[in-house]
Chain A
């Protein structure tokens, strides 16, 4: 016989939870997602770091020190690479404690594929010396290069270029002419890798590599030092100091590895932060989801709670029993999320390592901080979210137990007033910031904080807004009676509808605001080009190429003769030393043409051609250097060996398109790129742009690095980053949608349960299953659309506010991403439809007899 004893409140709680497993599981899913993203982000970052360390350790096995040239402070496009000289190499090799040394010659070059186009794009092509020991290269076919005319290529290069053993490859650097090499070998890397970090590589003899990289000088990019037995790296560091001198520096292999890790960490940090962002959004959204679910669960248990209060349970006990439920749910969900996140982070590390490092071997690190953070956030957010419903539950008067029917929700006045105040405060802060009343820096902060406040305020106002908006949305369904009923149901409980819609609203607000801003940036750039640049077509190459794309100036003669071309000008470009500072210098045979086609104007001086010793400059660059009309400046170009003097002959009005300095095309041989890097083509009024494009395209057949582009292409190339950013932001919406689906399902299932009797009655008096399904679906879609519309409205408004605040930085155009917004509405409908499936089926299968039978 079992002993009779009072059940502890905790046991009651656990039993209660077991009875509504499915509902709690749905609620917990949002917490699982949040915890998982956080854990994954931290695991990924740590794992990539440890993977990079391992790779470096393997690559430099046995190496104790590295000797490398001292990098100059300025990072321009330096033509001549610095190197460790042969003398230093000899001195290091001869030093005590050095067992042996190996040398590396390595820098980026251009190589052409089987179609005569430059291989690569984002991932660079490098030239190395085959003897380089920094990496174990494993020959797969053929042999190592033995003469200057031979090359071995990495497997990735072979794949990308379409060239292979026995073929000839054309390669060249900034300092060398195009040279043909016979491919005598194809190689891979340890672990069966085709590339290191995704780049392509060509291995030459050391002399040939020096010809390409160092213009034939006998210097090296890096020298790896193996210490003799019994000598430590640290001891050697001091011993080598005299041999290395000032032109080079020595680092221990540990420090070097740390540098490499830090570089990789920057990239993985971006991915990690992105995941963290996802996690935080999921957590933020789940606050509403959890609070809503607990409110609904408690509403359903009001009688039970009142009964417990009536028989003597204290308010504290009620709060504790609800919080205990939240704690258990939070712990389970956070634990599940952490496990999923750690596993996901490990999986992601493989994917990222594969892409970024082309490494199949991954070392997964699970930092305790990842587990702790994910658990703490998951549990914390669940308990905190349940606090308000718990406190509300504890205020249930015991007499509620005696009342026949549970009354509708508490009034929403309090929340509405708070929401209105917060929104107003936010709007005021934004207005102050936008009108510039707060002073430079505070203006932007005002807009930012204001935007945040408006966001929170509107979230609080959702309950109040739900009535009119849901009623307005109802017009969509007025043709169907079941639709009308569904819409009424959606409006029935504003607090619940708002809490449910908020999940979607938050996600949509974030993506809409970001997309609006980015679209505005793109539109501003496009507009700027349309308004300011007179040239219709550009001849230019990808900005991401390792070697600046350039072309033979001879093609310009052909272009000028193309029918419909009014004017065509080529431009040379260099980063030169002017009066001791690094400055952008353009060279052109037609100064007036360039200024005209770029939409610039000359403020002072002559806008005709520049003489050999004349220079023109944009007003702000002149101001920077403190030079004026008639002053003399000294300029040394990238390849130049002597300083040349120029007289300032013209000053241009400030204009971003005509930024920098202009000289005649006299000294282009001394430029970093000795050939033109860009041409502007102005098509005559009424000329056929398409025909000109085609003709110019034909003329560029033998120019592998450049192509002809119109405004759109050109702007698209410049704004390609924004497209990536917009896509990445959409992923965020995807996540918010998943949570929103969960939220809507949760709310609807609970509503269906609450309305069982009603559904039974409707079915009894003749409502078909189809109508019942439609009624629930309409409720679902209405809630989702409500959230999305609110999110779009707030998002566009915030996007506009931020754009307005940034007008001075050049984002002058406000553009609404209409296609994306239409997509969001579509997505909301999809969320509604998906979320409705299970609750609608449940509603249509209500057992009529059980539903209408009186207790």
Chain B
């Protein structure tokens, strides 16, 4: 099924349930003189079934925000909810279980296990959990990503785009509450990047998946329903139904504040 391009955001306003909620997040690194505040009182909601992009200049705290939302990093103050679960204050075991069961990850570097085949990589989260995956669902994801012929291949036998598609399938295989994608197109050429972004879009539209993507690429952000802008550790703006041009315009506005951003960059 051909995808509309540019993508048409669908019914954002009609969905009210938040998949991920952050309230009053603070995160600082180091102490004293060298202290860098990465997040300052960030409150944000990510609606279920929507595709949200987090943007900002480097050092704006966008990666930190994502790590805190995904239970990879701890917060100094504030709370994070994934669905009904409050992340804040959970121990390593509970956080690990939460990541395993409720979160999917897509990384810039693909991060596939070289010892496993594509199929085994896709099944990895389920294998770790010792759980079964819904075969119909899996078939659908694999077909959508056009990976059927590649299932028995090792990552070294796949192109970058194919590897990232495998990583996408891995993220979606367990039908997580939310998928966090960290610069998913950062290591791909334009064509392969577009394929991945189209898939992400489609997984929101067709499968109702919630996706939070960190990117610095305005044209990648244009695939989202909504763009949240971070600068200097704070949410400074947001944009609904973004286009590449409207994102660039917004970005230009922040870049004048770059000196502050650089001073606080990690």
Contacts and interface: CB of A to CB of B under 8 A. Distances in A.
Contacts, number: 76
A481 B128 contact: yes
A88 B33 CA distance: 101
A189 to B, nearest CB: 67
A842 interface: no
Interface in A810-855: 848-849, 852-854
Interface in B110-148: 111, 113-116, 124-125, 127-130
Contacts of B156: 408
A485 interface: yes
For chain A, give the interface size range. 20 to 34
Contact of B107 (A408, A763, A768, A852): A852
Interface string A410-427: 000000000000000000
A768 B124 CA distance: 13
Contact of A763 (B96, B104, B124): B96
A492 B156 CA distance: 13
A290 to B, nearest CB: 27
B219 interface: no
B127 A849 contact: no
Given A481-B130, A852-B107, A489 B96 contact: no
Contact of B115 (A485, A760, A854): A485
Interface in A763-809: 763-769, 771
A488 interface: yes
Interface string A442-465: 000000000000000000000000
B99 interface: yes
B170 interface: yes
B241 interface: no
Nearest to B71: A764
B128 A771 contact: yes
B194 interface: no
Nearest to B98: A766
Contacts of A761: 105, 107, 111, 113
Nearest to A767: B128
Contacts of A768: 93, 96-97
Interface string B63-101: 100010010110000000000000000001100110111
B100 to A, nearest CB: 2
Contact of A492 (B63, B97, B115, B183): B115
For chain B, give the interface size range. 20 to 34
Given A765-B170, A767-B96, A488 B116 contact: yes
Contacts of B124: 762, 765
A624 to B, nearest CB: 70
Interface in A464-497: 481-482, 484-485, 488-489, 491-492
B21 interface: no
Contact of B111 (A408, A491, A766, A852): A852
A491 B130 CA distance: 23
A68 interface: no
A299 to B, nearest CB: 14
Nearest to B183: A854
A49 interface: no
Nearest to A771: B128
B186 A765 contact: no
Nearest to B171: A765
Nearest to B101: A766
B99 A849 contact: no
A614 B108 CA distance: 102
B40 to A, nearest CB: 19
Contacts of B70: 764
A309 interface: no
Nearest to B63: A853
A758 B103 CA distance: 18
Interface of A: 408, 481-482, 484-485, 488-489, 491-492, 757-758, 760-769, 771, 848-849, 852-854
11 contacts: A758-B111, A761-B105, A761-B111, A762-B128, A766-B100, A766-B125, A766-B129, A767-B96, A769-B96, A854-B108, A854-B183
Counting from the closest, the 3 A-B pairs by CB-CB distance are A766-B100, A488-B115, A761-B111
Given A852-B107, A854-B186, 11 more contacts: A492-B115, A761-B113, A766-B96, A766-B101, A767-B96, A767-B100, A768-B96, A848-B72, A849-B72, A853-B63, A854-B183
